[in-house]
Amino acid sequence: MALAKEILGCSVIERSWFVSIPKASFSHHHQARQNLGVDPSLIHHRRVNLRKGLGSPAAVAAISEDLLRAVPENVARFKVRTVVTVRQKNKEDLKETIAKHLDAFTDRIGRNVVLQLVSTEIDPKTKAPKKSSEAVLKDWSKKTKVKAERIHYSAEFTVDSNFGIPGAITVTNKHQNEFFLESMTIEGFACGPVHFPCNSWVQSKKDHPGKRIFFSNKPYLPSETPAGLKAMREEELGYLRGDGKGERKLYDRVYDFDVYNDLGNPDKGIDFARPALGGSKIPYPRRCRTGRAPTYSDIHAESRVEKPLPMYVPRDEQFEESKQNAFSAGRLKAVLHNLIPSLKASISANNNDFKGFADIDSLYKEGLLLKVGLQDELLKKLPLPKVVQESSQGFLKYDTPKILSKDKFAWLRDDEFARQAIAGVNPVNIEKLTVFPPKSNLDPEVYGPLESALKEEHILGHLNGMSVQQAIDENKLFIVDYHDAYLPFLDRINALDGRKAYATRTIYFLTPRGTLKPIAIELSLPPQGPSSRSKRVVTPPVDATSNWMWQLAKAHVNSNDAGVHQLVNHWLRTHACMEPFILAAHRQMSAMHPIFKLLDPHMRYTLEINALARQNLINADGVIESCFTPGRYCMELSAAAYKSMWRFDKEDLPSDLIRRGVAVPDSTQPHGLKLLIEDYPYASDGLLIWSALENWVHTYVNYYYPTPAVVCNDRELQAWYAESVNVGHADIRHADWWPKLASPEDLASILTKIIWLSSAQHAALNFGQYPYGGFVPNRPPLMRRLIPFEGDPEYANFVADPQKYYLCALPSLLQATKFMAVVDTLSTHSPDEEYIGERQQPSVWTGDAKVVEAFYEFSAEIRQIEKEIERRNNDHSLRNRCGAGVLPYELLAPSSEPGVTCRGVPNSISI
């Protein structure tokens, strides 16, 4: 508390009789008093008398020279100063540069940036908020050539002595260019400096005719909004909601909902048409509305904006410059726009498959050799990123993925295959096996006989002398079950060119050493008739032939795992399902709402990255369809999971672990539950972060909501949650499992879920994609061959050259390199990343000193968690994260350097 007080000065709401003087100008004021023959010790007393004379406890606006002027107290007007911080662009295009110089010229003749200070109080005469005189930013034209990242401007307001406390500032930009307003600080009020965190683009008046409104950092619940700010609070929210009409412009700041009807492009032909996601036919969360016109071929499909043209998201949601540079200057856009077409033209005809594992290794050691002449064309077009480095010898080189860093053959081992189910990039699908053989929840009338082919004899020899039922009862058997996720799509997937898939189940045994061992893999196809061989079970090998069969079966499991990971756990459960909560937050909660302030860092960049995904990744013939087994049915598989298994009430870590049976409630344990796999790195590290988040959010919520009545009567809060559910998740809004919002406990639980999903859960699922998937045999995103039965035409080829058959089953060279380039981009931390426990302007993001102090305590707890994770990664008793050739589990280690690091928990879904 003392630390926060020291940083904040006097709280704005605590009205001190003492008028503070900015430190930078203290000596100047002291000298002025001496020159005027005034005893500085009398200043305090004189200010008290001034306030008393006004007959009001309102804060006194003052700069000391003004205070010393002999003017009647009842008409006193004083000057206060604001320091305005503007963040500059590092790079400008020609149009921006010309406009910048034009703005510098017109600023000198009155077309400038105009500010006005608004009080929290109403003028009793005008019945309107008290306002200062208008002021202009000084020296804009003089500072045009300054190259610093941030430029500080100043302006002076004239206010009445009974002005009260400043609560808002309006800004009018009469320039041609927009500018990024980072913050404003008012100095000269008795309460001390008043901070206005802005972090917003201020548009030119020609694009935004009205005045921009910025509120101070003092949070207010709607019922506590000072009279002078009530109308402005509603005005700003009204603008952000928009009217739901027309096409949005790139400079707009309007947040609204729409269905996913822009993934296909039927105007290009039937092969590019895709069903709309969202609605009664295919339920799905809502995305940000753009208002683009429909396609010519289908009035229900929205026309597309193709790369490199930008997709609309509200202006303040767009990437800041350093993030944009990290993302686009050679990463995803360069790779997708230029590299892949050139590679396809040069290699697809003759070099479609890897000839041996040495070909894959050469991607990291030697690079991808291009035809002579093509290199020059590429290098002229590409600002090549770190992952794809140019070389004078004419090849493109990829960074060595982390999975190869400690043991290049680890991926072949069964224990590593199993370890990645609890410590890899997708550790959220493993479940406790509760019944054997496992059962399907699909409709047999639709999908035919669904009995499992797994028998006790398949696994009995791997149970250390236990019976199957004994192993189940003693919590020794676990399963990763993708049978029901894939089976409904298999006929269509396997009809696609170059796609072959099974519906898989993998059974694991928990060994006495705490590690997992795969003991059976079931591979299922839709039944084709009474005598069809639609199901088979593959068990650990006993000879050379069965070894290659086993490796192929594991590859199919990993391919299914990669698809569910990307389409369900990563895209759907974090990116897509969080977007409605973000849209509703901006539409329904004022920037001065304490819950908006809490959520703000956890919403950063998510709308932009989701829009880019609709444009480049999940669209028809986009990267996801090109690189993953389900092909054109990828998003339908995602939607099926949303309908069948997504439940917001089960998305917190403890509930998810209990739902999957890998933990049981236990009040004697630190987090209220006991893990059945004690060395489960994702779960054990995740619970540390979950607990810290839960404590921080509960502390925050209880500060503002002491009783259930305050929660129930907060109309903005209730409107946010209602819109998130009823509009953002409209297709499942009637589900009885939605949590209620009627108490501080309800609110804290909902908010902790959202922050967990946006930060730690997304990090655990995202930043290991290249470290684990950049070596394609470890996690092939698609498969091109089924496993032949003895007697099949392909069986002879398999036996004659099993390595060739295996490599031909993996993605082609083109598919692999395209996938590698993309997952590298998705695994990269940008230089401006904000990690959990960090905030922009950490001492002034809120005006409540106790909350700032609580946040610092939360940050300290996160730093301790990082040390504990480091300790665990050096504990040799934890064999799933420490040992010869074993990768440490760092995906939930909170901090990271920029780049592909396989660690770091950003605040938000920012990539």
Which residues have a catalytic role annotated?
A: 570, 575, 762, 766, 911
Could you identify the residue written with the tokens 């690091």?
901
**Cα distances (Å, whole numbers) of residue 137 to 181, 247, 274, 386, 458:** 12, 33, 51, 41, 78
Q: Check: CB of residue 749 under 8 Å from CB of residue 464.
A: no
3-state secondary structure of 606: helix
DSSP 247: P
> Which tokens hold the place of 817?
């390199």
> Which tokens hold the place of 245?
């009409």
Distance CA 59, CA 161 (A): 8
Distance CA 208, CA 196 (A): 21
Q: Check: CB of residue 352 under 8 Å from CB of residue 409.
A: no
Could you identify the residue written with the tokens 């608004």?
118
Largest CA distance in the chain: 109
Distance CA 231, CA 211 (A): 14
3-state secondary structure of 609: helix
Distance CA 468, CA 812 (A): 40
- Our measurement of the distance from residue 302's CA atom to the centroid of its chain's CA atoms, rounded to an integer in Å, reads 25
DSSP 566: I
3-state secondary structure of 260: strand
Instruction: Tell me which amino acid residue 734 is.
Output: H
Closest CA to 516 of 438, 458, 452, 433: 433
Count the neighbouring beta carbons within 10 Å of the beta carbon of residue 208: 20
Distance CA 119, CA 123 (A): 9
Using a 10 angstrom Cβ sphere, with 0-12 exposed, 13-18 middle and 19 or more buried, the burial of residue 309 is exposed
Closest CA to 403 of 765, 774, 674: 774
3-state secondary structure of 733: coil
Count the neighbouring beta carbons within 10 Å of the beta carbon of residue 875: 11
What is the chain's alpha carbon radius of gyration, rounded to the nearest angstrom?
31
**Cα distances (Å, whole numbers) of residue 261 to 1, 246, 614, 727:** 50, 16, 10, 16
Q: Check: CB of residue 422 under 8 Å from CB of residue 681.
A: yes
**Cα distances (Å, whole numbers) of residue 603 to 479, 607, 695:** 34, 8, 20
3-state secondary structure of 180: strand
Q: Check: CB of residue 822 under 8 Å from CB of residue 623.
A: yes
Using a 10 angstrom Cβ sphere, with 0-12 exposed, 13-18 middle and 19 or more buried, the burial of residue 672 is middle
Closest CA to 524 of 602, 438, 463: 438
Closest CA to 147 of 204, 193, 88, 205: 88
3-state secondary structure of 485: helix
List the beta bridge partners of residue 79: 158
Q: What are phi and psi of 33, to 5 degrees?
A: -65, -40
SS3 string, 349-408, reads: CCCCCCCCHHHHHHHHHCCEECCCCHHHHHHHHCCCCCCCECCCCCEEECCCCHHHCCCC
**Cα distances (Å, whole numbers) of residue 184 to 187, 212, 517, 526, 550:** 10, 13, 59, 64, 64
